[in-house]
């Protein structure tokens, strides 16, 4: 599967974005936040992510080592992406692919990521 540009949003539509990523390397994670939120995550560089609207409507939640900014919509509470720094020091976005339009979630084969052991 090659990279493609997807449109995504929170539930109420206050937050909209575009992200370019490949959906053949998505993960589910068993860490304390992912298991509660049920996210399926795809990763891309910040360069391939554009926030179209809603910057003022995002709230930033951090916990643990505070490496990751879990940004969610203040109105509907949906977390459509988060921001962090990858192992190579490059700023990354983790996209909740459940928030992308025109993606058949059931066609994806998420790898299990053991975030709980980190």
Is residue 10 near Zn ion by the rule CB under 5 A? yes
Tell me the CA distances in angstroms from 40 to 9, 29, 55, 100, one per residue in order. Answer: 15, 8, 22, 11
Alpha helix segments (H runs only) across the chain: 34-37
Is residue 73 near Zn ion by the rule CB under 5 A? yes
Which CB, 11 or 47, lies closer to Zn ion?
11
Helix (H, G, I), strand (E, B) or coil at 97: helix
Is residue 14 near Zn ion by the rule CB under 5 A? yes
Which CB, 61 or 118, lies closer to Zn ion?
61
| Residue 92, H or E segment | strand 91-96
Tell me the CA distances in angstroms from 67 to 83, 89, 93, one per residue in order. Answer: 9, 11, 12
Q: How far is the CB of 100 from Zn ion (least distance, A)?
A: 15
Is residue 99 near Zn ion by the rule CB under 5 A? no
Is residue 75 near Zn ion by the rule CB under 5 A? yes
The span from the CA of 35 to the CA of 110, in Å, is: 14
Question: DSSP character for 107?
Answer: G
Is residue 51 near Zn ion by the rule CB under 5 A? no
Q: How far is the CB of 74 from Zn ion (least distance, A)?
A: 8
Stretch that binds Zn ion, among 21-29, 45-53, 66-74, 105-113 (CB under 5 A): 66-74
Residues that bind Zn ion (CB under 5 A): 10, 12, 14, 73, 75-76
């Amino acid at each position: 599967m090659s990279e493609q540009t997807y449109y995504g949003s929170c539930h109420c539509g206050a937050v909209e974005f575009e992200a370019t990523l490949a959906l053949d390397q998505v993960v589910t994670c068993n860490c304390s936040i992912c298991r509660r939120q049920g996210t399926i995550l795809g990763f891309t560089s910040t360069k391939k992510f554009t926030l179209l609207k809603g910057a003022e409507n995002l709230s930033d939640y951090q916990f643990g080592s505070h490496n990751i900014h879990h940004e969610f919509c203040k109105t509907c509470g949906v977390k459509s992406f988060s921001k962090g720094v990858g192992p190579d020091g490059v700023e990354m976005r983790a996209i909740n692919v459940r928030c992308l339009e025109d993606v058949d979630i059931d066609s994806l084969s998420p790898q299990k990521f053991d975030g709980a052991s980190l």
